[in-house]
Amino acid sequence: MGFGELLAVSDVISLHCPLSDSNRGMINRETIAKMKNGVIIINNSRGPLVAEQDLADALASGKVYAAGVDVVSVEPIKADNPLLTAKNCFVTPHISWASKESRQRLMDIAVNSLKGFLEGKPVNVVNI
């Protein structure tokens, strides 16, 4: 299934990807037009994946029923960001990672990395 087809059949679109030149603004006026009426959009990834004014316009028209964004294009969020006043838009302050489970996972990774290093069996090694 291609991206356009996926947009056309999805009730909820949730973004969880890194930002690159090829996906910057991937949620925009044109891609929103391909979506079902009443779609819900969640961005838990990178702010610039979404053309914020286009999303705000789609929320105002009802094309997009609701949006939840944990990230915006410029952080900290600027007072004139169109999503702050958009209908049915929920903005959280880049804290989706802060659940108890996420913090526990981060601590477990740190402990396991240190333990592996001390035992001479490092994990999560990045060679530069």
Q: pLDDT band at 73, cuts 50/70/90? A: very high
What pLDDT score was predicted for residue 124? Answer: 81
What pLDDT score was predicted for residue 128? Answer: 63
Higher pLDDT, residue 98 or 42: 42
Q: pLDDT band at 120, cuts 50/70/90? A: very high
Does the predicted TM-score (pTM) go above 0.95?
A: no
What pLDDT score was predicted for residue 1? Answer: 87
CB atoms within 10 A of CB 47: 19
Q: What is the pLDDT of residues 15-38, one digit of tens each?
A: 999 999 999 999 999 999 999 999
Is pLDDT of 66 > 80?
A: yes
Q: Which residues are catalytic?
A: 46, 75, 94
Instruction: Please provide the CATH number assigned to the domain covering 3-94.
Output: 3.40.50.720
What pLDDT score was predicted for residue 97? Answer: 80
First-residue to last-residue Cα distance in the chain: 37
Mean model confidence pLDDT for the chain: 95
Q: pLDDT band at 5, cuts 50/70/90? A: very high
What pLDDT score was predicted for residue 42? Answer: 98
